[in-house]
Amino acid sequence: PVGEPADLFTGYPFTLRMTPDAILLNEVVITPRTAEEYLKMALERRPHNYVTSPYHAWYYYRETVKENGKLTQHDEAVIEAFLPRRYTADTTRLYLYGARRAKDLGRVQFMQNYVDKKQSKAIKKAKKAKKIPLDSAVAKEGMRINFTTAYWLIDSNFAWNNLGFLNPAKFKLYEYAITHVTDWLGYKVLVIRFDQREKVKEPLYKGTIYLEENSLAVVAVDFGLSERGLKHLVPGYVKPLLWTMGISFAPPKLTFHMRFKQIGARWDFDYVYTSGFLHIEKDRWFKDDEVSDFTGEQLLYTLRRSDDVPAKPTSTLFIRRKQYLHKQFKGDYGITDWSQFNIPRHQQWEQ
């Protein structure tokens, strides 16, 4: 009836039988809600669906890169986090509880000579300016692939501030469609697929959003780069530079798997797993061309959390917000027994 609360019907087909009462009822018009409307409702219910009180948490973090199957980067860390009350101006504070870096890693071979020359010039310049001791052993690490910072992943508003397809102000850039309702880890979830619109001239995302049927909480998101936006991935002003350097690459593959878990009657972040692949080539005159396949992954997983927030952190090394994590520690730090942390196997992240 007009003015009455709406009900969500997830089973179909269904039979609707209506009889006239006080007035003669000749017809009824049913207009289903759009995917965008469901997403807006989900976003409006965030304060009721997710943990909003401050809490203390521990996360496992890992980033790994391989070049042509050979490991070139492998850093692990356990991060202690103080998360503020949600939807406030307070900021998340992160501390490095422990970290380690794999030993005997290979150097990135792609454009190694170019990187070595550039580093040598930088070292000579620094020595001349007396910014480093003349006898300083400067490690030539070669090229390194930098991931996002830990704050970008852990910050309490990550999913809502950093993902345009969950921002109503950017809904116009995407196409959304409800596909079906399915069972997911014991819950009924509404499945919404999305992709950037054809006419959007920038690289955006394509993927799937899962809404828990009763609360409309976003409980899982799988997404990656949209094929429609790959041609806009490299800015026009960069293309001539790449051509001059003889560098070309195939469209990269990048996927994200983000999960939430239920804490009492509410939901909270569980983990985010990212994986990527890039095939890149460099043409060389009178020499063999350089060809490399890079694979990488980044994982942030919740080890434990508590509503009892201590006055001081257990860890003493504060993680700087705008600096990559690998630059904030050298070698093994803090933890001697890593077996105490129960990290699920790699195969589980894409489930």
pLDDT band for position 87 (cuts 50, 70, 90): low
Residue 73 is encoded by which pair of tokens? Answer: 């980067």
Largest CA distance in the chain: 96
Question: Cα separations (Å) of 245 from 96, 107, 238, 249?
Answer: 39, 21, 11, 12
- Domain annotation covers residue 11: no
pLDDT band for position 236 (cuts 50, 70, 90): confident
Q: What is the mean pLDDT of residues 274-283?
A: 88
pLDDT attached to residue 105 = 80
Q: What is the mean pLDDT of residues 119-132?
A: 72
pLDDT band for position 135 (cuts 50, 70, 90): very low
pLDDT over 90 (residue 78): yes
- Domain annotation covers residue 16: no
Most confident among 2-6, 106-110, 268-272, 332-336 (mean pLDDT):
268-272
Instruction: Answer yes or no: do 206 and 312 share one domain.
Output: yes
pLDDT attached to residue 128 = 74
The residue with tokens 């009657």 is 265
Question: Cα separations (Å) of 42 from 69, 72, 194, 257?
Answer: 42, 41, 16, 19
pTM: 0.80
Instruction: Answer yes or no: do 278 and 159 share one domain.
Output: yes
Distance (Å, whole) CA 41 – CA 330:
46
- Domain annotation covers residue 9: no
Instruction: Answer yes or no: do 57 and 192 share one domain.
Output: yes
pLDDT band for position 137 (cuts 50, 70, 90): very low
Which position has the higher pLDDT, 40 or 239? 40
pLDDT over 80 (residue 150): yes
Instruction: Answer yes or no: do 292 and 269 share one domain.
Output: yes
pLDDT attached to residue 8 = 60
- Domain annotation covers residue 90: yes
Instruction: Answer yes or no: do 54 and 70 share one domain.
Output: yes
Instruction: Answer yes or no: do 138 and 254 share one domain.
Output: no
| Residue percentage of the chain with pLDDT more than 90 | 35
Question: What sign does the CA torsion over 257, 263, 265, 269 have?
Answer: negative
Distance (Å, whole) CA 56 – CA 91:
13
Q: What is the mean pLDDT of residues 250-259?
A: 90
Q: Phi and psi dihedrals of 18, rounded to 5?
A: -130, 145
Question: Cα separations (Å) of 255 from 154, 173, 183, 200, 326?
Answer: 18, 19, 23, 20, 22
pLDDT over 60 (residue 350): no
Instruction: Answer yes or no: do 274 and 313 share one domain.
Output: yes
| Contact partners, residue 29, CB within 8 Å, separation at least 6 | none
pLDDT attached to residue 178 = 93
Comparing C-alpha atoms, which of 271, 320, 328 is closest to residue 300? Answer: 271
Structural domain harbouring 115: 109-143
Q: What is the mean pLDDT of residues 128-138?
A: 56
Burial of 19 (0-12, 13-18, 19+ CB in 10 A): exposed
Which position has the higher pLDDT, 16 or 139? 16
What mean pLDDT is reported for the chain? 82
- Domain annotation covers residue 49: yes
pLDDT attached to residue 241 = 78
- Domain annotation covers residue 192: yes
* Minimum mean pLDDT range among 74-88, 163-177, 331-345: 331-345
Domain boundary among 143, 165, 190: 143
pLDDT band for position 138 (cuts 50, 70, 90): very low
The residue with tokens 């460099």 is 282
pLDDT over 50 (residue 351): no
pLDDT tens for each residue of 299-320: 999 999 898 989 889 888 999 9
CA 259, 150, 93: angle at the middle one, nearest 5?
105
- Domain annotation covers residue 283: yes
pLDDT attached to residue 246 = 81
Distance (Å, whole) CA 240 – CA 248:
11
pLDDT attached to residue 292 = 86
Amino acid at position 168, single letter = P
Provide the domain count of the chain.
2
Given a contact cutoff of 8 angstroms between Cβ atoms, the answer to whether 333 and 319 are in contact is no
pLDDT attached to residue 184 = 87
Instruction: Answer yes or no: do 210 and 257 share one domain.
Output: yes
What b-and-e string marks burial along 214-225, b requiring 16 or more CB atoms within 10 Å of the CB? Answer: ebbbbbbbbbbb
Residue 216 is encoded by which pair of tokens? Answer: 């409309």
Instruction: Answer yes or no: do 200 and 281 share one domain.
Output: yes
Instruction: Answer yes or no: do 71 and 46 share one domain.
Output: yes
pLDDT over 80 (residue 95): yes
- Domain annotation covers residue 161: yes
Distance (Å, whole) CA 336 – CA 334:
7
Instruction: Answer yes or no: do 223 and 279 share one domain.
Output: yes
* Minimum mean pLDDT range among 85-94, 133-142, 149-158: 133-142
pLDDT attached to residue 295 = 92
